[in-house]
């Protein structure tokens, strides 16, 4: 049963859009951390040292002197949530799902993840600047955790692109996105007076970034490109085949099958990455359109699981999802 659940989750991940993938990653990280904490608790009677380690090294710190030694935390914090309960991650994921799907209808899928990341980065900057500039934070330190700043960027991006868009709320009815975003900003401004002013500043930073991203996009500046270039480079490194050792193996690697794959879109024909796929892939898919290839591969995952795919099929799936 566990194997079937794992295969189903992998299929849903590869079939889902960026919002679904972000939700799955956030939930998976949270669940994994809690499962490991159970092991610590059973062995040592307490999980607090383990939780302290996570907070110390993967939450984003307010102390400027710590940041160079925890530089990765500006990214890790936006995929982690409060370890003391489920409400924090539940609310963030619900808002991400609601507004993310709104945004996904308004903008290309490859810009969603950059908005999420830039929102988290700007939220961290607002957080650390607030703690080190405003007198209210004098003689105090804190750690930033959660996807709230990133989610706020998604909310403001959707509201900026489609301010008249509507969302239905239970017992209230339909409300335009611009009013939802405005109310949320006012709430966070007021919230700085209470128990979590640092978090409220981070939310405002994420909100600013969501608006700024769309503002720049309308001026012809695509802020998603740096993030997408980094992720593309990481994915290429991940897919790079192992170095061949024998002379015969190196010769085979240097002389790939030369056939070209024909991909059809409407009545137009074009060649896509003809030298990147092997003979068996070409024989099976060369007469199919890109969409037909994708549908066939997804059907294969559903029948036999992701691990049944060939390396070429996995490369194709990663590129065109």
* Statement to judge: residues 20 and 156 lie in one domain: yes
Domain count for the chain: 2
0.95 exceeded by pTM: no
Contact 74, 149 (CB under 8 A): no
- Is 168 inside any structural domain? yes
* Statement to judge: residues 283 and 178 lie in one domain: no
* Statement to judge: residues 224 and 250 lie in one domain: no
The owner of tokens 């700024």 is 212
* Statement to judge: residues 245 and 214 lie in one domain: no
* Statement to judge: residues 225 and 312 lie in one domain: no
Which residues pair with residue 268 across a beta bridge? Answer: 265
* Statement to judge: residues 270 and 188 lie in one domain: no
pLDDT at res. 225: 92
Q: Can you tell me the distance from the alpha carbon of 199 to that of 191, in angstroms, rounded to the nearest whole number? A: 9
Among the candidates 202, 230, 258, a domain finishes at 230
Q: Can you tell me the distance from the alpha carbon of 90 to that of 297, in angstroms, rounded to the nearest whole number? A: 33
Write the pLDDT tens digit of every residue in 172-206. 788 888 898 898 888 888 876 677 788 889 999 99
- Is 163 inside any structural domain? yes
* Statement to judge: residues 37 and 107 lie in one domain: yes
CATH number assigned to the domain comprising residue 130 = 1.20.1540.10
* Statement to judge: residues 181 and 247 lie in one domain: no
Among 177, 21, 190, residue whose Cα is nearest residue 112:
21
pLDDT at res. 254: 45
Q: What is the DSSP string of 146-167?
A: SSHHHHHHHHHHHHHH-TT-EE
Among the candidates 230, 260, 295, a domain finishes at 230
- Is 149 inside any structural domain? yes
Domain that includes residue 214, residue range: 2-230
* Statement to judge: residues 258 and 221 lie in one domain: no
pLDDT band at residue 9, thresholds of 50, 70 and 90?
confident
- Is 236 inside any structural domain? no
* Statement to judge: residues 180 and 313 lie in one domain: no
Among the candidates 172, 199, 230, a domain finishes at 230
* Statement to judge: residues 265 and 186 lie in one domain: no
Q: What is the DSSP string of 61-73?
A: ES-TTTGGGGTTH
Write the pLDDT tens digit of every residue in 244-282. 445 554 554 444 433 344 443 443 333 444 455 676 777
Neighbours of 148 (CB within 10 A): 26
């Amino acid at each position: 049963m566990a194997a079937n659940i794992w295969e189903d989750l992998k299929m849903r991940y590869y079939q889902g859009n960026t919002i679904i993938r972000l939700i799955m990653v956030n939930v998976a990280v949270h669940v994994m951390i809690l499962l490991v904490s159970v092991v610590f608790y059973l062995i040592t009677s307490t999980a607090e040292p383990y939780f302290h380690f996570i907070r110390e090294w993967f939450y984003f710190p307010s102390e400027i002197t710590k940041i160079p030694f925890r530089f990765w935390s500006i990214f890790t914090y936006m995929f982690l949530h409060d370890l003391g309960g489920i409400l924090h991650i539940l609310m963030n994921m619900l808002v991400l799902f609601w507004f993310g799907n709104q945004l996904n209808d308004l903008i290309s899928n490859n810009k969603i993840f950059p908005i999420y990341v830039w929102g988290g980065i700007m939220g961290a900057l607002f957080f650390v600047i607030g703690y080190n500039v405003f007198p209210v934070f004098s003689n105090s330190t804190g750690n930033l955790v959660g996807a709230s700043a990133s989610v706020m960027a998604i909310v403001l991006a959707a509201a900026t692109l489609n301010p008249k868009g509507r969302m239905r709320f239970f017992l209230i009815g339909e409300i335009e996105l611009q009013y939802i975003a405005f109310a949320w900003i006012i709430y966070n401004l007021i919230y700085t007076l209470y128990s979590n002013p640092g978090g409220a500043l981070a939310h405002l930073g994420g909100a600013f970034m969501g608006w700024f991203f769309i503002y720049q996009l309308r001026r012809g500046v695509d802020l998603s490109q740096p993030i997408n270039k980094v992720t593309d480079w990481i994915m290429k490194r991940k897919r790079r085949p192992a170095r061949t050792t024998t002379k015969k193996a190196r010769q085979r690697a240097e002389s790939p099958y030369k056939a070209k794959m024909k991909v059809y879109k409407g009545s137009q024909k074009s060649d896509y990455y003809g030298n990147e796929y092997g003979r068996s892939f070409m024989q099976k898919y060369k007469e199919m359109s890109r969409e037909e290839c994708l549908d066939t591969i997804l059907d294969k995952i559903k029948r036999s699981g992701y691990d049944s795919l060939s390396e070429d099929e996995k490369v194709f799936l990663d590129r065109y999802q």
